[in-house]
Amino acid sequence: MGVVTALVVFTHPRPDQFATALLEATVEGLSAAGHVVDVIDLYRDNFEAAMAPAEWRAYATPAATDTVGIESYSRMLAGADVLAFVFPMWWSGPPSMVKGFFDRALVPGVAFRLADNGRVSPGLRHVRRVVVVTAAEPPGNFPQRSTRQLAHALGRSLRRATGWRTRTLVCWAGPGEASNEEGRRRFVSRTRDRLAGL
């Protein structure tokens, strides 16, 4: 078996927050599993979440993959066997940059193919695993069930781009676990161990 490449898409504006510990655990776990790990840090890249009107006009054309600042993401996605997302849950959902990455980087010609009859086929069939690592951040009084369901839905929706044989893994910490140091430490360790087993 050849080299397995894992691509981690990370989203958080502050390096001193819990999400950074989750990123480190994700990279360490995937590395321990023998994967070569690449990281896209959307904040470090100054990624613009909003799709420009010109991008939308080009969305279903070959030019969709030529957007400045997105081409490198397309190349990294093309080489990934494992696709992981690490982000906090804010207001019961992921940061806007995560949605922006889906809108702007997972375009036709990269994430899926659009046939003339409108049929969609996966463009990332080489991705064997989709991983979502997330934790609720304050305010933590939002329904835990909805944030957990959203994390699972994100993993499932990616299978439209990767194919239904792709397996998904969701590592999720609710406000109770994410709000105290001991809970965070346990979650980081558990996440690292689960990813090391991939």
What confidence tens digit (pLDDT) does each residue in 55-83 have? 888 887 777 766 667 889 999 999 999 99
* Helix (H) or strand (E) segment spanning residue 10: strand 5-10
Mean of all residue pLDDT scores within the chain: 87
CA 104 to chain CA centroid, nearest Å:
13
Alpha helices for the chain (secondary structure H): 18-32, 53-57, 71-78, 96-105, 144-162, 175-178, 181-196
Cis peptide leading into residue 139 (ω within 30°): yes
Domains located in the chain, CATH noted: 5-196 (3.40.50.360)
Q: What is the per-residue pLDDT across 100-153, written as a single tens digit (0 to 9) for each?
A: 999 999 998 899 988 888 788 999 999 999 999 998 765 555 555 565 677 667
Q: CA 22, 99, 70, 166: dihedral to nearest 10 degrees?
A: 70
What per-residue confidence (pLDDT) applies to 135?
87
- Each residue's pLDDT tens digit, 29-45: 999 999 999 999 999 99
